[in-house]
Structures are given as structure tokens and as C-alpha cells.
């Protein structure tokens, strides 16, 4: 079994990150899916859709929700899944280094993978002081 990864993002962000990850890693070692929340979306419809995606991704080890922006609608919907009984951890601030780091540690359990995601996201930020 393994952790499923669900990207919760604003429109066009999640699929673009999956596409970029596939450019770097032609075969993704974890099941990854994205739910992109369009403007003016019906939140209850999106919550139901997201719950379905999360339950499909959960093969017994839980779901790592990677959200693009803490406090925004995609993140809030992802966080609400816990109250519906979905076993998950949520990490916000999604970027490509975060996703790639998670995929490189596919064998790790959910709690550890959440920490790896946060570390990978921070570690992918570089400031040139030249």
C-alpha cells in the first residue's frame, strides 16, 4: 500500500504541476490526482467531488493533500475532508519542489511524508545573493 496524493488548487495549477512532475519523472511512484477549484464553483459540489477523489486515492495508508494557498477555498475544502472521515494530512504552499520531494520518498508513511513535503517546499526556494 502507499499514500495517495491529492493536489487542491485554484484553476489550472494542479494539472500543470502534475504535467511538470511527469516531465521530470516519466513514471510517478504514487497515485496523484488534482482537484482544481474554478471561480464561482458550487462549494458543496466541489467538496463532494473532492471527497470522491480522496477516497479513490486512499489505498489504506491515507491521503496527502497538497494545497496551493492556506486559507483559500481549495485548501479549506481539502481540510474539510477530515471531518468526513478521510484519513489525511494537509500541507499548504504547494510548489513543484514540494511535489517532487514527496514523489522521491514514496515509501514513507503519511505523517512523515507531510513533513517531507513541507521541507521540500521550503528547500526549493533559493535567493541569489550574487
pLDDT tens digits for 13-60?
999 999 999 999 999 999 999 999 999 999 999 999 999 999 999 999
What's the confidence (pLDDT) of residue 119?
98
- Number of domains into which the chain is organized: 1
Parallel/antiparallel/unpaired status of strands 88-92 and 63-67 = parallel
Question: Taking the mean position of all CA atoms in its chain, how far away is CA 62?
Answer: 12
pLDDT band at 123 (very low <50, low <70, confident <90, very high): very high
How many angstroms separate the CA atoms of 101 and 94, rounded?
Answer: 11
How far apart, in whole angstroms, are the C-alpha atoms of residue 42 and residue 59? 28
CATH number at residue 39: 3.40.50.510
Which three cell numbers, joined as nine digits, stand for 71? 486559507
Tell me whether residue 2 is in a domain. no
Q: What is the domain range of residue 24? A: 8-123
Instruction: Please determine, for residue 1, whether its predicted confidence score (pLDDT) is greater than 80.
Output: no
Q: What is the pLDDT of residue 86?
A: 97
What's the whole-number mean pLDDT along residues 71-91? 97
In the prediction, which pLDDT does 15 show?
98
**Is residue 49 domain-resident?**
yes
Q: How many CB atoms lie within 10 A of CB 86?
A: 19
- Rounded average pLDDT over 85-97: 98
> Distance of alpha carbon 17 from its chain centroid, rounded?
10
C-alpha dihedral over 84, 85, 90, 95, to 10 degrees?
-70
Separation CA 112–CA 121 (nearest Å): 14
To the nearest whole number, what is the mean pLDDT of the chain? 97
Look at the chain and count its residues: 130
**Residue 1 lies inside a defined structural domain of this protein:** no
Amino acid at each position: 500500500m502507499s499514500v495517495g496524493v491529492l493536489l487542491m488548487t485554484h484553476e489550472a495549477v494542479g494539472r500543470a504541476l502534475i504535467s511538470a512532475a511527469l516531465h521530470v519523472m516519466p513514471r510517478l511512484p504514487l497515485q496523484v490526482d488534482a482537484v482544481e477549484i474554478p471561480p464561482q464553483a458550487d462549494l458543496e459540489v466541489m467538496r463532494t467531488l473532492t471527497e470522491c477523489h480522496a477516497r479513490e486515492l486512499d489505498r489504506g495508508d491515507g491521503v496527502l493533500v497538497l494545497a496551493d494557498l492556506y486559507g483559500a477555498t481549495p485548501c479549506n475544502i481539502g481540510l474539510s475532508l477530515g471531518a468526513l472521515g478521510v484519513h489525511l494530512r494537509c500541507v499548504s504552499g504547494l510548489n513543484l519542489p514540494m511535489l517532487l520531494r514527496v514523489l522521491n520518498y514514496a515509501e514513507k508513511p503519511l505523517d512523515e511524508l507531510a513533513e517531507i513535503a513541507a521541507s521540500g517546499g521550503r528547500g526549493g526556494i533559493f535567493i541569489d545573493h550574487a
